[in-house]
Structure 1
Amino acid sequence: MTLSRSESRQKEKAQREKRRRRTLSISIVLIGTLLVVAALGLTWGSKAGLPDWFSWPGGGAEQALVNDPDGPDDGAASPEPTDLPDDPASTDEEGNEEPDASPPAEEGTGEMSELISLSFVGDMMPGEYINRILLEKGYDFPYQKVLLYLSEPDIMAGNLELPITTRGTPIEGTPYVHKGSPEALPPLRDAGFDVLSLANNHALDQGLEGMHDTMKHLQEAGIGYMGVGNNDAEAFAPYVMEARGFKVAYIGVSGVIPYTHLKADRNTPGIAETYETKRTVAAIASAKEDADLVIVMVHWGEDAADKPKNLHRNYAREYIDAGADIVIGSHPHVLQGFENYKGKWIAYSLGNFVYATNPKSPQGDTGVLDAVCNKAGECTLKFNPMNVIGSQPTPLEGEAKQQLLERLSSISFGVTLDSEGSVIQQGTAAKAP
């Protein structure tokens, strides 16, 4: 069954963005007022006989902030409020919502556009190893340094690497068994996430009870999901989101499943598998009939390997030949490279994102991948380099940023990443779709 994002979900994301922009505008006005007051005070002080050096320095950082509300273009993301009161002007005296009179360029409102922005991250485990941090600092803690990267895209997606449940029977015979609290989901949604793939080796860590709880809690939180279901028809069904006049279908599949009986089948609940490609290819072709863009999020590969298997490179090509526009990989817990096949993009692994990792190891390297696409499926990619420090993805700058971009170029196939993170096919110039 094909699902689509509700109208209320679109409004919620648009309202959060409006509140963020409104807060930024108010802050700028307050800063400007303070600067004017300070300047007047200093001018008075100078007239009162204070020394010449006691005057406002022109062209400083404070003045630049007034002239440029977005601040210096250093690529760093600043924390932003996520739980602000609604705009008083948006309701009438009886508390009823009034029509939105804001400009039509607001994100996530479903207006027609020639382009759409899609973003992706890798594995997320908002629980288990980082439970202590989440309980001490709040479930929104992992996203505080990267909110701009997560809230700006029209659609934000990632891989949820654990079941969300307070119940369940732990699976036996596997080295790692996980679970997370339902309290983790509202902050994840508020940070900007719209859709999560559940097609991975931990989806049934707490049995079918845990899988069904995860589905229920995601629905209650207003977050879309795909990759599991009560049978293979449900598990392979795309989650379809509509934004800016685009229909974008997300399909989740896994090539890493602990036991055969956990695979979804005609009468068996479980995970959409891709140990072979037949059912995945069929799901992609079916989704392409109705969607403008088809995104395949696939769990595959070897742990800690920075290069994909040739088998999986072939699988990615089959997905694209069937109609996929972008293929996004996860599971190795480290970054892998990029490839362009027939004008379509493959990201073999986006590494860890919300995880307990050593920031000095390859498992600490991460980032947000941005794609800007047209309805022909022509996309430009940009990777925003980050490092997981204390369970917080943190944007990289300077030499550290360049080193990570250079390493990604060295493990990619026929593409390079420039100094800003744009992914460019070798022999071609970067251009907008």
Structure 2
Amino acid sequence: MSNYPLSYKLSWLPRFLKPSVLGDASGFAPMAGRVMEPQPGQTVRLAFIGDISAVANRRAPACDPAIAVLLGAADLVIGNCESPIVEKPSAVLGTKLGTHHAMTERFLGDALAAVGIAPEKLVLSLANNHVLDQGFAGFEATVAALQRLGIRTIGTTGNGPVEHVAVGPLMLGLAAFTLWRNADEAVFATRVSMESDPARWPRDAASGVDLLCAVPHWDWEFRHFPRAETRALARRLAGHGVGLIAGHHAHVVQPVERIGEALVAYGLGDFLGTAFARQPWPGRIGAILTVEVSADAGTRGKVASYRMHPFMRLRTGDHERLVPVEGLEGAMRPRVLKRLTAIFG
């Protein structure tokens, strides 16, 4: 029913236990940079976060104030809703084993409050492989719960491949899609966007948009460097006018690349744990990508600067604690810094 190749399936557990730093490390950009000089006088700040789930949490996470301040200062936060939002899972055994994801509406609301994200400033993609883990009823319950919370969604088939979201004086076009699915394609295609080819998007999809952003669920899991096929897709998206790409699915932090004027963050890792509760430490490194977008005349909609803000999800009892890397103590900090250096140079 899924579309994972056999080699991918066989490598999943070894790579989960020991995320790989093998791969092509050439051509990537620093963790932070100025794309425009001089910097614009007026900007809009976007913050991109990774996958959100309650798999590793019985209750809302604790959060370092610095992370809450960072997220609270963004004009818009964009992430991936990795778990269906249901009060009672229909896939009971799979949910207990961790193969099927689920979280409650209360958990998500409490988690957002803990990390400083106002629901009205949040956009969540539903284009991922786990969104149908609790069936069609779970999908509909998820959409309804997000509406009640006041959270906007992208990545469903109902509104086309590019959805328009206003943020301050700018209009963003958000194209969310998944390359991976955990169900039959015919079933998946009725609810979830899988259209990754920008040449197949309607010609007027980006009409009236200042900045076109892609939010793909792509690449192979637990590998810090993206595959050649993923980088080729990024180039194709950039060639069709996508100026900003923030990816998910790898569950580990991946590097940043500049393709012409386009900025690509291949993977932000998990924002809240989405594999198993007791996850090896490299998979607990996440990142928040902040991007300043120009709102000045003449450069309107251009990426002005960006920064990756790495953090750790530390397990504390039955929930997690989000801590900036600079706030880590003991032996963990040099280990994390060494891994980040391997990824970003």
Give the alignment's TM-score, normalised by structure 2.
Answer: 0.73
2:232 is aligned with 1:314:
yes
Find the partner of 2:326 among 374, 393, 397. 397
Q: Write the distance in 2 (CA, Å) between the matches of 1:396 and 1:271.
A: 35
Superposition pairs of residues 61-72 of structure 1, within 5 angstroms: none
Find the partner of 2:102 among 152, 161, 179. 179
| Structure 2 CA distance for partners of 1:262 and 1:272, relative to 1, 3 Å | same
Corresponding pairs, count? 282
**DSSP 3-state at the match of 1:411:** helix
Superposition pairs of residues 338-417 of structure 1, within 5 angstroms: 338-355=256-273, 361-374=281-294, 375-390=300-315, 391-397=320-326, 404=336, 407-408=339-340, 410-412=342-344
8 Å CA contact 1:119–1:369 kept in 2: the answer is yes
Q: Write the distance in 2 (CA, Å) between the matches of 1:298 and 1:217.
A: 23
Q: Write the distance in 1 (CA, Å) between the matches of 2:56 and 2:322.
A: 15
| Structure 2 CA distance for partners of 1:305 and 1:147, relative to 1, 3 Å | same
**DSSP 3-state at the match of 1:186:** helix
| Structure 2 CA distance for partners of 1:205 and 1:273, relative to 1, 3 Å | same
| Structure 2 CA distance for partners of 1:308 and 1:321, relative to 1, 3 Å | same
Q: Write the distance in 1 (CA, Å) between the matches of 2:76 and 2:291.
A: 10
Q: Relative contact order, CA 8 A, sep 6+: which one is greater?
A: 2
Q: Output the amino acid matched with 1:179.
A: A
2:168 corresponds to: 244
| Structure 2 CA distance for partners of 1:333 and 1:155, relative to 1, 3 Å | same
In structure 2, the gaps of 5 or more residues are 1-40, 295-299
Post-superposition, which runs of at least 4 consecutive aligned residues in structure 1 deviate over 6 A?
171-175, 398-403
Q: Write the distance in 1 (CA, Å) between the matches of 2:206 and 2:334.
A: 37
1:213 corresponds to: 141
1:227 corresponds to: 155
**DSSP 3-state at the match of 2:102:** coil
Which stretch shows the higher mean deviation, 180-189 or 246-255? 180-189
Per-residue CA shift, 1:35-84, capped at 9, x if unaligned? xxxxxxxxxxxxxxxxxxxxxxxxxxxxxxxxxxxxxxxxxxxxxxxxxx
Q: Write the distance in 2 (CA, Å) between the matches of 1:286 and 1:404.
A: 44
Question: Considering only aligned residues, what root-mean-square deviation do their CA atoms show, in Å?
Answer: 2.8
Shift of 1:251: 1.9
Shift of 1:168: 5.7
8 Å CA contact 1:284–1:323 kept in 2: the answer is no
Which stretch shows the higher mean deviation, 183-192 or 294-303? 183-192
Q: Write the distance in 2 (CA, Å) between the matches of 1:337 and 1:357.
A: 25
Per-residue CA shift, 1:256-300, capped at 9, x if unaligned? 112312332xxxx221114xx33x444486442121112211111
2:70 is aligned with 1:149:
yes
2:253 corresponds to: 335
Structure with a larger share of its residues in strand: 2
8 Å CA contact 2:86–2:141 kept in 1: the answer is yes
Larger radius of gyration, structure 1 or 2? 1
Give the alignment's TM-score, normalised by structure 1.
Answer: 0.59
Q: Write the distance in 1 (CA, Å) between the matches of 2:259 and 2:335.
A: 26
8 Å CA contact 1:339–1:346 kept in 2: the answer is yes
Shift of 1:367: 2.0
Structure with a larger share of its residues in helix: 1
2:197 is aligned with 1:272:
no
Shift of 1:401: 6.7
